[in-house]
A and B are shown apart, each in its own frame.
Chain A
Amino acid sequence: MNLFKKIDWLKIEKFIGSLKFAVIVISLFTIGMIIGTFLESYFGTDFANRAVYKTTAFMFVQFGILLSIIFAAILRLPPKKRLYGFYTIHSGLLIIGMGSLITYVAGVDGQITLAPNEPNRQVILSKDIIKITYPTEGKQIVSYLPYSAFESSINETYDNITVKNYIPFAEGRFVWSDSINKYSDENPVHSSKYHFKNAFAEQDLILSLHPEAGSDFQSSTTMGPLTFTYYPYKLAKCFAQNNPSKIIIWNSETAECFTPEEKNIPVKITGANNRFVVLPYNKTFITFFPDYSPFPMNTKLQTDEKSIIRAFSKKLFEDKPNLFLFGKKAAWFDKGLSKWVVSDLEVGGNPAKLPWMNAEISLTDHQDHLVPFNIPIPTIPIQKNGNLIKGDIRAVQLEILGKEYWVTNYSPLSLLVRGKKIIIEVTKESLTLPFELALTQFKMDKDPGTNNPASYESFVKLFSDGKTTNHHVFMNNPMKKSGFTFYQASYSQDNQGQYNTTLAVNVDQGRTWKYLGSLMLVFGAIWHYNLNSKTKDQDKNKKTGKLA
């Protein structure tokens, strides 16, 4: 209490309302913004927001400006006619500040992506979360991750799961890691690292059959016109047999294979000249049309895609450049020799010469059981043309029953903990709309005779209370519904070439205040600077300015 009394409040009031304080906070604010724009330019919008604009320190500076505005006005009371413009400016600024605070606390600023004719009501917001789902119990735990630019330590425990660290910007560093689950030797789970080279390009590629390998490591990939397909090593011996039918029958679980010729199974031809093979299997028969589908067909000519027994017709892969890799072996069709060639590859050994564009491939690493993994390493992101080209991985390090795991925005984790299935995801906070939206059409007009977009337009169906309404959203023409406003933000194209649209979703309760404050600011400025006939340091006898 004494201390409270001892403080010279008048002095503090005078200091905060003083010009010195105003210039200090405005300068700090300006310096912050300058740093922010440069960070944004090199490291991206998200990084700049996390490192500068949305940090507590920067908010504090803005709060300082508000204090300065309030106290500067208070110090100049009671009202003087000369300062009416000044009061209006300062009140306007305060009202803008208040409006912004309302938006910050209660507003919604997110995005919704709509695919053609697929209703959606999930709006993706900006906050990062970790979501732990127990599907059998129908339970879900959601926890916010810190909004920081750099790695931060969390150490929070939910059941048996400890969330240790969060890296908002990470890049992957390749390592071989132990697998979470055990796999019998019968199941092929091997992975290989190859080095591909031709006159124009050189690239490392890692292909894997391991079920725990993330989306970065798949069993097939393409490079220009060339397709790489990674198969279990046991299959190589069947590729090596230049059997006349060029058909291989194989078991997708054990990778055991044989050719129809080996088992004296005839390859027959239908009346319409289609090849088929009938195979005795489990006391019944299964029929393959290998030139059409690797899966067996039933009597209604439907394919059974669950079948583990499959047929492979090498004939289909002879026209275009196709390279089949089996770990330490590679196979391709040599048009010159008019036959399939299988070549051995040793780790660190000589490359195999391929028949396309002087290309060659060598094996640089091979693992039978380990999982290829990109371990997240904190990094400073790099933005180019509006997209992050480095550091776009958000990763959380977890500890579950003494073992360490990583979950990223690209690879969720799915595992059994003491018999309970758990799915852990790093994602963005989302909001469920009280109505549904679906895209009926996305239209992009181009300037005549060019490929430059002239407009982006989304035709949207809105389903609410059993009613369906049609809306047309385009640049400068948003759609409004139940306090939400939807703006045309961007678009994307999926694998089938279909256009998806992204709409910005916004709720802003502070809008009216911000507009009112803005009006007051502008009118106040005109009043103060341009309508006041007399300002402090105007000199009536000043017509002395002369040029050299």
Chain B
Amino acid sequence: MKKIILFILLILTSSVTMAESYFCKKELEVLPTLQGGRVKPLYVHAAEAMKSLTGKISVNDLGPVEAFCLISLNGMGLPTEIKLEARIDHVDLMKFLNLSKDQHSILYEELIAKEDAIKNEARSIKDNASYKKAIGKLYDNLFLYKEIKSGENWLFPTVKNGALEWLPLVAFLTEEKVIAQKQLTPMDPFLPILLNTKTVYDQFSGSEKYELELYYAKAGLASWALTLTILALATMVLFKNFNIALGLASISALVQLILIALRVIISGRAPITNMYETVLFSGFGSLTLALVLGHLKKEKLFVYMGLGYNVCTLMMLNFANGMLTATISPLVPVLRDNFWLSTHVTTVILSYGALALSWILANTVLFKRKWGKITKKEELNFADIIYTTLKWGTTMLAGGVILGGVWADYSWGRFWGWDPKETWSLIVLCTYMAILHGRYTTWIKTDRFITITAGAFMSVMMAWFGVNYILATGLHSYGFSEGGAIFLGSFFLMQIIVLIITSVKSDNINDQGIDQQA
């Protein structure tokens, strides 16, 4: 092994043209690699790894693939200049690593020296859950960094005895291969060997589908959709140009549809298997539903509601990276049923989207009532629109809950098992059924109905996020990730504050609404 490394080192360092980046070129982006149970382009894996290690995709001026490749070369005994820094934000972790107040990063090379201490610290923490999580994540990252640095993380496909095998860089790049290739391309024997693995894999698998993920990762569709939706909302609310807003909203919905479709093609399953995808789908679903309802009922306000909620979901997709990860991962065994996944989960998530529309409008009315101007007649009209979305949301939710029961019966042998996720979906259903009954029989008056609807969405958030981030037990907790509890706590707090402030009697409702309209 040492001999091979020395040989490769000799060739690498003797070549003038490769002095700095060796063979770590952008062309490597498209190479297939096996990571997290899936074959994906190297760019996607390198970007995910760099993001996890440093918080950013690129390192200094280098792209993720160049950086990943250069660090991996250490495994071949080739020291490289590139130094990665871990981002440290947790106060206790900063204290433990002896960082000053302003110092939020530390070199991975320094962390390697402290590895045993980190391991012992992680083991000894008993009560401080957030610190334990932070140090656990740091330890995982350190492990990842060491694996990349040893050349073991970068896997190459080779075909041996008719079967596909994945070899790490250090085992793949053998002396024989380099000597043979040197005959053909004396100046640069390495890059062709590496690039050839793509041909090997493509021929073996008969598909180049994984390449799609490269374009998907680079397209940044979520940012485009957010820009379009914000523009649409601004055009509608600030510039009052409905037609342009409608056009922009439709393009944004289309961009989101492409984003979802790409994920479906890449993963080969329904696009609703983790928090990132449910948020994406509910945002897209509610915008589409709003456009359809707005068209059917000839009511522009639906478009406003759809855009409002769409901004929230796209903001989360673009900025809440600690909570939602865009990584496409294989499914846990229980979810591996495309029929039920695409019926039960989509129905439930779509119902959450529909109920979110009512939440947007209810809060808007609360704000208008407190700080803007609103007539009784307007308020009644808003309440009717909210009622329409509630009817749609509740019907879909009932259908979704029942489909979930049927799926549970089909795969676990019981229709209902008081699992937290299913119980919370029933809690949401009961909450909205109570509101619908109260409203239908006019027991709940218009002003109270709007306040209650704004607050009721907290039950949806609890069923959707809270079960995974707060309760985190039971058969359904496959979407657990960090940061969610803080997000949810902040959401509840903000909503409760809004409810309290806006419930203080306001004079802005004009009983003579009709006169004012005139």
Tell me the A residues contacting B by CB distance below 8 Å: 19-20, 22-23, 26-27, 29-30, 33-34, 36-38, 40-41, 45, 48-49, 53, 100, 103, 109, 383, 386, 446-450, 452-456, 475-476, 478, 485, 487, 489, 504-506, 508, 511, 514-515, 518, 521-522, 525-526, 529-530, 535-539, 542-548
Q: Once the chains bind, are A386 and B473 in contact (CB under 8 Å)?
A: yes
When distances are taken between beta carbons in the complex, the residues of chain A under 8 Å from B424 are 33, 37
Q: Is the CB of A41 within 8 A of B420?
A: yes
A34-B427, A537-B442, A545-B381 given; A450·B36 CB < 8 A: yes
Whether the Cβ atoms of A545 and B37 lie closer than 8 Å is no
Chain B residue numbers with a CB within 8 Å of A544 are: 375, 377-378, 381, 513, 517
- B372 to chain A: closest residue by CB: A548
Binds A, one of B107-115, B252-260, B276-284, B392-400: B392-400
Chain B residues near A453 (CB-CB < 8 A): 332-333
For B393-414 the 0/1 string (1 means CB < 8 A from A) is 0110011001001100111111
Alpha-carbon distance between A455 and B378 when the two chains are bound, in angstroms: 55
Q: B471, A37: Cβ atoms under 8 Å?
A: yes
Q: Check A511 against B337 for contact (C-beta < 8 Å).
A: no
Q: Contacts A475-B411, A476-B336 given: A27-B474 contact, CB under 8 Å?
A: no
Query: Which of B57-65, B72-80, B141-149, B428-436 is the contact stretch?
Result: B428-436
Instruction: Tell me how far the C-beta of A534 lies from the nearest C-beta in chain B, rounded to whole angstroms.
Output: 12
Q: With A476-B410, A547-B236, A548-B368 known to touch, is A37 a contact of B398 (CB < 8 Å)?
A: no
Q: In the complex, what distance in Å separates the CA atom of A78 from the CA atom of B295? A: 37
Rounded to whole angstroms, the CA-CA distance of A518 and B436 in the bound complex is 19
- Residue of A with least CB distance to B436: A529
Contact in complex: A33, B427 (CB < 8 Å) = yes
A40/B413 in contact, CB under 8 A = no
* Chain B residues whose C-beta falls within 8 Å of the C-beta of A475 in the assembled complex: 333-334, 336-337, 411
B384 touches A30 (CB 8 A): no
Cα of A260 to Cα of B421 in the assembled complex, Å: 69
- A26-B434, A30-B427, A454-B333 known; A529+B391 contact, CB < 8 A: yes
Most interface-central of A37, A475, A525, A543 (chain B CB within 10 A): A37
B90 at the interface (CB under 8 A from A): no
Contacts of B398 in A (CB 8 A): 521-522, 525
Is A449 in contact with B34, judged by CB distance below 8 angstroms?
yes
B155 within 8 Å of A by Cβ?
A: yes
Given contact pairs A475-B334, A515-B406, A530-B395, A40 touches B471 in the complex (Cβ within 8 A): yes
Residue of B nearest to A41 (CB): B471
Find out whether the CB atom of A29 lies under 8 angstroms from the CB atom of B467: no
Considering the complex, give the chain A residue whose CB is closest to the CB of B385: A545
Are the C-beta atoms of A506 and B406 separated by less than 8 Å?
Answer: no
Interface pair B415/A514, CB less than 8 Å apart: yes
In the complex, what residues of A have CB within 8 A of residue B337's CB? 475-476
Q: Which of these, A30, A455, A543, contacts B381 with CB under 8 Å? A: A543
Query: Are B467 and A37 in contact, with the CB atoms below 8 A?
Result: yes
- Which residues of B are found within 8 Å of A522, using beta-carbon distances? 395, 398-399, 402
What is the CB-to-nearest-CB distance from A489 to chain B, in angstroms, rounded to a whole number? 7
Determine if B473 and A383 form an interchain contact, defined as CB atoms under 8 angstroms apart: yes
Shortest beta-carbon distance, A493 to chain B, in Å?
A: 17
* Residues B420 and A40 in contact, CB atoms below 8 Å apart: yes
Which B residue sits closest to A108, measured CB to CB?
Answer: B413
Contact in complex: B333, A506 (CB < 8 Å): no
- Size category of the B interface is 35 or more
Which among B372, B394, B402, B474 is the interface contact of A40 at CB below 8 angstroms?
B474
B411 near A27 with CB under 8 A, answer: no
Q: B473 touching A536 by the CB < 8 A rule?
A: no
Residues of A within 8 A of B485 (CB): none
Residue ID in chain B nearest A444 by CB atoms: B333
Report the Cα distance A53→B420, complex, angstroms: 12
Q: Could you show 18 A-B contacts with beta carbons less than 8 Å apart?
A: A26-B437, A29-B430, A30-B434, A37-B420, A48-B418, A383-B473, A446-B37, A447-B330, A448-B34, A449-B166, A455-B333, A455-B336, A475-B334, A475-B336, A489-B412, A514-B405, A515-B406, A521-B398
Selected from A525, A537, A548, the residue in CB contact (under 8 A) with B439 is A537
Shortest distance between the CB of B351 and any CB in chain A (Å): 11
Question: Given A447-B330, A450-B36, A547-B304, do A478 and B413 touch, yes or no (CB 8 Å)?
Answer: yes
Determine whether B326 belongs to the interface, using a CB cutoff of 8 Å to chain A: no
CB contacts (< 8 Å) of A515 on chain B: these are 406
> In the complex, A508→B408 CA distance in Å?
13
Knowing that A38-B471, A53-B418 touch, tell me 9 more A-B residue pairs with CB under 8 angstroms: A23-B443, A26-B430, A33-B426, A383-B473, A449-B34, A449-B35, A487-B412, A526-B395, A545-B382
Asked if A547 meets B237 with Cβ closer than 8 Å, knowing A29-B430, A37-B424, A41-B420, the reply is yes
A-B pair number, CB within 8 angstroms: 189
Q: Which residues of B contact A100 (CB under 8 A)?
A: 415-416
**Are A452's CB and B37's CB within 8 A?**
yes
Closest-by-CB residue of B relative to A386 is B473
- Which residues of chain B are within 8 angstroms of A538 by Cβ–Cβ distance? 384
Instruction: Out of B373, B395, B431, name the residue touching A525 (CB < 8 Å).
Output: B395
A contact residues around B511 at 8 Å (CB): none
* Nearest CB in chain A: distance from B155 CB, A: 7
State whether B381 touches A487 (Cβ < 8 A): no
Q: Which of A20, A449, A521, A545 contacts B299 (CB 8 A)?
A: A545
Task: Determine whether the beta carbon of A19 is less than 8 Å from that of B34.
Answer: no
Among B395, B416, B426, find the residue whose CB has the most chain A CB atoms closer than 10 A.
B395
Interface centre among B334, B406, B413, B414 (most CB of A within 10 A): B413
Which B-chain residue is minimally distant from A521 (CB atoms)?
Answer: B398
Q: Is the CB of B420 within 8 A of A518?
A: no
Q: Say which residue of B378, B387, B395, B413 sits within 8 Å of A506 (CB atoms).
A: B413
C-alpha spacing A487/B38, complex, angstroms: 28
- Chain B nearest CB from A516 CB (Å) reads 12
* Shortest distance from the beta carbon of A231 to any chain B beta carbon, whole Å: 33
Q: Would A545 and B442 count as touching, CB distance under 8 A?
A: no
9 A-B pairs closest in CB distance:
A447-B37, A506-B413, A529-B391, A41-B471, A542-B381, A518-B402, A487-B413, A525-B395, A450-B37
Closest to B412 in A: A487
- Report the bound CA distance from A19 to B441 in whole Å: 8
Q: Which residues of chain A have C-beta atoms less than 8 A from B381's C-beta?
A: 539, 542-545
Chain A residue contacts of B240, Cβ below 8 A:
547
**B residues 424-467 in Cβ contact with A at 8 Å:** 424, 426-427, 430-431, 433-434, 436-443, 467
Q: Is B380 an interface residue (CB 8 A)?
A: yes
Minimum CB–CB distance for B281 against chain A, Å: 21
Docked-complex contact A41 and B368, CB < 8 angstroms: no
CA distance A537 to B423 in the complex (A): 31
Cα-based distance from A534 to B431 in the complex (angstroms) = 24
In the complex formed, the residue of A with least CB distance to B392 is: A530
Question: Closest residue to B33 on the A side, CB-wise?
Answer: A449
Q: Which residues of A contact B166 (CB under 8 A)?
A: 448-449
For residue A63, give the distance in angstroms from its CB to the closest CB of chain B. Answer: 16
**B333 contacts which of A27, A34, A456, A529 (Cβ < 8 Å)?**
A456
User: B513 — nearest CB in chain A belongs to which residue?
Assistant: A544
**A23 CA / B437 CA spacing, docked (Å):** 8
Q: Is B193 an interface residue (CB 8 A)?
A: no
Asked if B106 is an interface residue, CB under 8 A from chain A, the answer is no
Chain A residues closer than 8 Å to B517, beta-carbon distance:
544
A40 to B422, CA, bound (A): 13
A478-B410 Cα distance, complex, nearest whole Å: 8
Complex Cα spacing A505 to B412, Å: 9
> Chain B residues near A518 (CB, 8 Å)?
402, 405-406
A504 & B437 in contact (Cβ 8 Å cutoff): no
Residues in A with CB closer than 8 Å to B236 are 547
Q: Are A529's CB and B330's CB within 8 A?
A: no
Residues in B whose Cβ lies below 8 Å from that of A521: 398, 402
The distance from the CB of B134 to the nearest CB of chain A, in whole angstroms, is 20
